[in-house]
Amino acid sequence: MAALSLCRPEDAERLADLMSRFAAEYGMAGHDEARGAAVQPLLEGSPYGAAYLFGPTRAPTGYLIVTFGWSIELGGMEARIDEIYVRTAVRGRGLATEALFALARALRDAGVTAIHLEVDRDDPAAQKLYRKCGFAPRDRYSLMTMPL
């Protein structure tokens, strides 16, 4: 079972290990210190997002980070999955699916109206997972970013 547990400051080390694995696997630029600093406010209860671990408490099998925004079009608070990661050794067991369904239930109960995520255009396995969980591309929309 991939029950979610909200990360607190005392979870920083376990989360940092998984985040480092994620960054290395996907060739993400940046240093672990910068990523840790970016997630620290979420561990301290920032209203802008949350970090969750899933799997056994002492040796979590994965994590996800969600951030929050507001959408007039979608009727209120929306969430964006910024990162989701499952340890390579336990992939294919449905852990990400369970975690995404658990997240959707929790966010729906908290009044969130939609969850967004980005998916690599060249990763059909991830696309299949997300479609299975109810995600779909939005007609007429494409994500665009302006770095500041």
Which percentage of the chain shows pLDDT scores above 70? 99
**Long-range pairs, 64-67, Cβ under 8 A, ≥24:** 64/4, 64/99, 64/100, 64/103, 65/39, 66/103, 66/107, 66/115
Assess if residue 110 is contained within a domain.
yes
Would you state the structure tokens that stand for residue 29, as one six-digit string?
């630029």
The set of residues, in sequence order, having a beta carbon less than 8 Å from that of 123 and lying 6+ positions away, is none
Query: Domain for residue 144, yes or no?
Result: no
In a domain, 24, yes or no: yes
Domain for residue 63, yes or no? yes
Please determine, for residue 1, whether its predicted confidence score (pLDDT) is greater than 90: no
Q: What is the pLDDT at residue 31? A: 80
| 128 domain-assigned | yes
Task: Flag whether 107 is in a domain.
Answer: yes
Strand 114-117: give its sheet, edge to edge: 4-6, 49-54, 62-71, 76-86, 114-117
What counts of helices (H) and strands (E) characterise the chain? 4, 5
| Chain segment 120-131, per-residue pLDDT in tens | 999 999 999 999
Residue 32 sits in a domain whose CATH number is: 3.40.630.30
Return the number of other C-beta atoms located less than 10 Å from residue 107's C-beta. 19
For helices 95-109 and 124-132, angle between their N-to-C axes, nearest 10 degrees: 40
In terms of Cα–Cα distance, which of 91, 105, 16, 104 is closest to 55? Answer: 91
Say what the pLDDT of residue 5 is. 95
Tell me what pLDDT residue 29 has: 74
Nearest to 52 by CA among 20, 89, 82: 82
Per the CB < 8 A criterion, the answer to whether 26 and 122 are in contact is no
For 137-146, write each residue's pLDDT tens digit. Answer: 988 888 888 8
**Model pLDDT for residues 64-114, shown as the tens digit of each residue:** 999 999 999 999 999 999 999 999 999 999 999 999 999 999 999 999 999
pLDDT at 2 > cutoff 90: no
Which residue range is the domain that position 58 belongs to? 4-132
Domain count, the chain: 1
User: What are the pLDDT digits (tens) for 28-57?
Assistant: 877 888 899 999 999 999 999 999 999 988
Residue 39 included in any domain: yes
Structure confidence at residue 58 as a pLDDT band (50, 70, 90): confident
- The answer to whether position 45 is within a domain reads yes
